[in-house]
Amino acid sequence: MGTIRAGDTLPSMKLVMATADGPKEITTDEIFKGGKVVLFAVPGAFTPTCSTAHLPGFLQHIDALKAKGVDRVVCIAVNDVFVMEAWRKQQGVGDAVMMVADGSAAFTRAMGLELDLVARGLGVRSQRYALIAEDGRITHLAIEAPGGFEVSRAESILAAL
């Protein structure tokens, strides 16, 4: 299929998120249907840029995003649900950002945005990107160049809203 593009509908599939009752499956339809959602993907929880800039940037700008009509901000990574929950707690996310696990990279592959870091001992991860979706359809997609951190940062997404 290739890489997903603006105008495409997000793939319908199951992901996992932590809840007070333990891990819970959640569908992309539940996440994206009927609202305006910002999703940002990081190569990995607890990794340097992800922890010092990407997630903190969205936390810092959460009120501004909501003021521009965003119903939900979602962070996704190719990590298991327990790692995503530990990272959520360590970063002080609370319920400001929905932390979603794509543990087997199924969603990431369906998007065509996988990043092969096997040679570096990190397995298959997600490229760094951010998107805006309205009712499950992508209206803006910003994929970073390798090693980059410009187009997917919170400030860039705010400017695109």
50 in active site: yes
- The residue annotated as part of the active site, out of 18, 50, 101, 154, is 50
Residue whose pair of structure tokens reads 């995503």 in the numeric block = 84
Nearest to 103 by CA among 78, 126, 128: 78
Task: Write the CA distances from 122 to 84, 90, 115, 131, integer angstroms.
Answer: 16, 21, 10, 24
In a 13 Å sphere around the CA of 76, the CA atoms on its Cβ side amount to 32
Q: Which residues contact 54 (CB under 8 A, 6 or more apart)?
A: 40, 42, 128, 149, 152, 153
Annotated catalytic residues are: 50
